Each structure stands twice: as structure tokens, then as C-alpha cells.
Structure 1
Amino acid sequence: MALMALGSYWLVRNTPTFGPPPTPAAATHEPDYFMRRFAVRNFDAAGRLKSEIFGSEARHYPDTDTLEIDNPRVRAFNERGELTVATARRGLTTGDGSQVQLFGNAVVTREASRDAQGRLQPQMRISGEHLHAFLDTDRLTSEQPVVLQRGEDRFTADRLNYQHGDRVLQLDGRVRGLIAPAGSREPAS
């Protein structure tokens, strides 16, 4: 009987206890992976290239599901196949790639194209120290001074909100513009 009691005592002491599950550690703003000299491409449902992001180095932060990119270069195509190219010293993109923030010498260039009526739409270039691109909605904003060049026309402003699909550009703050004479512009063909 004593042997049975001693065996039971040993079994109880060495049996693991079932307590509450361990609480997961809070996510910290530490990168969980790095990439060097990389390219990330997104495709639409039909398999067409929608956007691609190149960079010299990137760090992924799991707590915010963001990717911080050094020397980013972004190429994005809208549904009509129009190309937009963006560059900066540093970029920050959301996990799903729908938003890209560009910091330091940020430049976004919409290449020249033709509209639905076949009229030439000149190249448009927007530059500043911070630009925020919403790739899904084809929108670009900035709360810092910007320079906009559309063909030979040039504008500066303190803030910008541009919706490409609607072709609506809103410049706020101190806005200055230089519109080239019609004779110096490329003829619409």
C-alpha cells in the first residue's frame, strides 16, 4: 500500500498542469524580415501587371504590417494601361500594397497618354518632400509644398489633392502658376 501511495504521489508531482494558454507577446516595432535589392509585383485577376516596387533595402514591421523601403521605385498601371512612376529616398507601403508614402525628394510622374477621345494628355510630374499615393483609387495627396509640371505649365502649392480618375486637382495654400502660351504646347493629334 505504501508503494502505491508513493507511486501516486510521484505521478501527481510529475504530471503537467493545464493552465490558461500563454499570452502572446505584444508585437513590437521590430522588423521580422529584411530584403535587399528586391522587386515586388502585383497582378490583377486577368494576370496583367498592376504595380511593381523596387528598392535597395526593405524592412517589414509585423505590428503595423508595413514595409519600409530605402530608395523605392514604384511603377503602377491603371485600368487603361497608363504608366505612373514614383521615386524617393524612403518609402512606406501598406501590407496589401494599396498605399505608398514617399519621403525625401519624392517624384511622381504620369507619362503622356491619350484620353478616351484620343486627345494627347501631356506628361505630369509632381514633386515634393512627402507624397502619399493611394494606388487602388488612383489618388495622390501631400500636406507639404509641391511642384506640379504638366507639359510646359508649372504650379507650386503648399498642399495637393489629385484624383486622376476624375481629373480633379486641388492645390491649396500659397498657389503660384505659370501657364505656357498655347503656341508653345504640343499640338493635339
Structure 2
Amino acid sequence: MTPAALPAPPPRRAPPRPLLWRVQSLLSNYLPLLLMALLAGGTWWLVKHTPLLGEPGASAPARHVPDYRMARFEIQRIGADGRLNVRIAGAELRHYPDTDTVEIDQVRMRAIAPDGSLAIAEARRALSNGDGSDLQLMGGVHLRRLPPGAGEDAPPQLEMRGEFLQALANAEILRSHLPVTVRQGGTTLDAQNFEYRHLTGQVRFTGKAQGRILSKARQ
């Protein structure tokens, strides 16, 4: 009599990944477009080189007062294919010649990637140096990443909220020294601070971090 074959052992289930690992993976996948929205600094040259009205006056000691303002403005960048890919709007823009900085109230930045994905960044105030290599968003910062073809009211793929966010164009770094909340699907992370380096794809958190995962049944 041929002995009956023993049943194969059930496959081992891989242990669940730590929450922090999962969040880091999500951010590495979705943050590049958010970074692109903030690093639309090439558009700032339009502001910096806006022609001034009137003749230049006599030279005077530099003071921290704006040399020009733009109220309820909108700046657009059109790609080589004729499509709008970056738009920056705000309640008021001010340029300070002594520090060569641009300040915007109630800023709203919108960037479209080649695949149609949309990134939107909003804040009560934005501050940028003259060449756009250092951009800071302050107060009520809200970033959203939307899937291709989705309207602005669609549920975001990734959402980030906080009170401060800094984008460094030359080093391709997105960071905040203040607490941020990141949401993706049913995953939420509250972190004391973070730093994302696009060149290496690394996300680093320091201080306390708390995460929550919503079960599929509850979703």
C-alpha cells in the first residue's frame, strides 16, 4: 500500500511591516510630485523681473520695504506642449529689494505632472529667496496629491497638513521642524518633524511619531 502523501504545510504569512516603514514607503512614492509643486521656483523669475512703472529714483540706503506689490495675482507657466503645468496665485505679492525676497499672502500653488497627476499646496504665507531655491510655507499649510484626471475636489492620494514646510530646490529637500500630519488612504501619521530627500528617496522622522491604520472593513 502506498502511503498517503502528507498535506503541504500552509504558506507562512509574512510578518506585517512596521507602520513607520509603510509610511516611509508611501511618502517616497508620493512626495516627489508634492516637491515639484513647491519647487516651481523657476516661475519666481517672472515676479522678480516684473518691470516697474516710472523712472528709477536716486540711490538710497536699502530698507526692508517692498519696491513693488501685486494684488490678487496669478502667475502661470506653460509647458513646451502648450499645456498649463504650474500656477501660483495669492492675495498679495511683495518683493523686498534689500533681501531680494518674495512674500505672498494666501498663496496657492498648483502643479501638473506629465502623467496628469496634480499637486496643490496652500498656505497663509509664502516666503522665497530671489532665485526660488529656498521656499517656505507658513501657517495652515495643506498639501494634496491627486490622481491623474481627478478634479480638485477628489479624495487625495496623499495629504499633508502642518504649520511650516520648507522646500530647498538645489538639494531637492522637503522638510519641516514643526509637527505634521500625513494621511494616505486609511493610514495616518502624526510626526514632530520630518525631512524628505528626493535625491536618495529617504524620509527621516525624529522625535515622537504616532500612526494609525484604519482596517479595510472600516474603510
TM above 0.5? yes
Which structure has greater strand proportion? 1
Q: How does 1:69-88 map to 2 (within 5 A)?
A: 69-88=104-123
Structure having the higher Rg? 1
Structure 2 CA distance for aligned equivalents of residues 130 and 87 of structure 1? 11
Whether 2:175 is the aligned partner of 1:141: answer: yes
Tell me the percent identity: 40
Change in CA separation of 1:38 and 1:109 when aligned onto 2, cut-off 3 Å: same
Q: Is the 8 A contact 1:113 1:123 kept in 2?
A: no
Alpha-carbon deviation of 1:143? 0.7
Letter in 1 for 2:187: D
Q: Is the 8 A contact 2:172 2:199 kept in 1?
A: yes
Q: How does 1:158-177 map to 2 (within 5 A)?
A: 158-163=192-197, 168-177=202-211
Residue deviations 1:137-161, cap 9 Å, x none?
Answer: 7642111010001111100111112
Deviates more, 1:57-66 or 1:174-183: 174-183
Alpha-carbon deviation of 1:75? 0.7
- Count residues with an aligned counterpart: 156
Residue of structure 2 in register with 1:108 after alignment: 143
Task: Give the root-mean-square deviation of aligned CA atoms.
Answer: 3.0
Letter in 2 for 1:146: V
Residue of structure 2 in register with 1:156 after alignment: 190
Structure 2 CA distance for aligned equivalents of residues 157 and 175 of structure 1? 4
Change in CA separation of 1:37 and 1:29 when aligned onto 2, cut-off 3 Å: same
Residue of structure 2 in register with 1:92 after alignment: 127
Structure 2 CA distance for aligned equivalents of residues 38 and 80 of structure 1? 27
Q: How does 1:49-68 map to 2 (within 5 A)?
A: 49-68=84-103
Q: Which has the higher contact order (CA 8 A, sep 6+)?
A: 2
Consecutive unaligned residues of structure 2, counting only runs of 5 or more, are: 1-57, 150-155
Match of residue 159, structure 2, among 113, 117, 125: 125
Deviates more, 1:36-45 or 1:50-59: 36-45
Residue deviations 1:86-116, cap 9 Å, x none?
Answer: 11111113334454311111111111359xx
Consecutive unaligned residues of structure 1, counting only runs of 5 or more, are: 1-22, 115-121
**What TM-score do the two structures reach when normalised by structure 2?**
0.60
Q: Is the 8 A contact 2:116 2:147 kept in 1?
A: no
Q: Is the 8 A contact 1:84 1:110 kept in 2?
A: yes
Q: Is the 8 A contact 2:116 2:148 kept in 1?
A: no
**What TM-score do the two structures reach when normalised by structure 1?**
0.68
Letter in 2 for 1:125: E
Change in CA separation of 1:98 and 1:83 when aligned onto 2, cut-off 3 Å: farther
